[in-house]
Amino acid sequence: MRLEDLDYALPPELIAQEPAPERTAARLLVVTREPEGLAHETVAGLARLLRAGDLLILNDARVVPARVHGRRPSGGKLELLLLDECDDGEWEALVRGTPRVGERVHLPEASGTWTAALGEGRWRLRLEVPGTVSAWLERVGEVPLPPYIRRPAGPTAVDRERYQTTFARVPGAVAAPTAGLHFTPRLLAAAEAEGIGHAMLTLKVGPGTFLPLRGGDLETHRMAPERYALPAVTAARIEATRSAGGRVVAVGTTTVRALESAAAGGVLQAGEGEAALFIKPGHRFRAVDALLTNFHLPGTPLLALVAAFAGQAVMAAAYAEAVLQRYRFYSYGDAMLIT
């Protein structure tokens, strides 16, 4: 596959700027590998599109309001996205602006000192906050909406709710596992009533997920690792589902990366680890039988993963149909089910 195979034309007005009125109201493009294998449904009808004995796997990572605005001593504006706490208590941040090593940064109710420049906008920072960093972020931080959601006033109170899955539990993600945004307790209960179960894992989504592929050579791209945890009970349910002839339906590309990383040795292994697989055409899927996912940006590892799962020609036809039928794209947009 070439990088240009992961490109497509998208009218800007199809990029969803707001969530749908209801989570399950999103449209759902159902994709199979058969000729004429495209159908138009809604997420609300998911239970009748799957089969009794199938198992939905969802990512329960919780998005942290990790975007904070600060200033340099000179008054210059900075925008920080706190990514992860380092072993020595410092923090890694993605920064928009021009800080300097050793310089102070003024933050709402807090301050810090830049200790190292890591390249590509990443910095290390020693924070000084009252109480815990997590509690401080809940008070002063913003929901880290993607940059293609352009609103003059920035994130709203609605985003605090809607840019978070209803089953989010484990804090640490800087972006939502967006396919999971469509699910409600009622939808999961409807699926259970049809014999379709669900189970959880955790993958803490980082910015490496969304970094574009550069240079045109997919062989040289390296994914930034993201931490995941696959509970033993979830692994056992997956094994039982497949033994009984059911399908493992991954909700989102983050779930796919966690499962395929856990199965990279040939057998699905419960526990914690790092997902660093770059899944592209040619990948042998060991743990996933069907995929529910949103529509993704051109030239990204997410689109390469979808091409690997559906086949590049099928994916291209599906995306062309979604554009033609004016589906809503990206984080707050519609979804597709690939079986």
Domain residue ranges of the chain, discontinuous segments joined by +:
3-63+159-338, 67-141
Structure tokens at 86: 């380092």
pLDDT-derived band at 208 (thresholds 50, 70, 90) equals confident
Which of 2.40.10.240, 2.40.33.10, 3.30.980.20, 3.40.50.150 is the CATH number of 67-141? 2.40.10.240
Higher-confidence residue of 28 and 35: namely 28
Query: What is the pTM for the complete model shown?
Result: 0.94
Q: Which amino acid is at 249?
A: V
pLDDT in the model for residue 216: 65
In 3D, which of 173, 335, 324 has the Cα closest to residue 252?
Answer: 335
In the CATH hierarchy, which top-level class contains the domain 3-63+159-338?
alpha beta
Q: Residues 304-326: what's their mean pLDDT?
A: 96
Q: Please state which of the ranges 133-147, 216-230, 299-313, 316-330 shows the lowest mean pLDDT.
A: 216-230
pLDDT-derived band at 1 (thresholds 50, 70, 90) equals confident
What lies within 8 Å, CB to CB, of 244 at 6+ separation is 53
Q: What is the pLDDT of residues 135-149, one digit of tens each?
A: 999 999 999 999 999
Phi/psi of residue 41, each to 5°? -135, -165
Q: Residues 247-274: what's their mean pLDDT?
A: 97
Q: Is the pLDDT of residue 217 over 80?
A: no
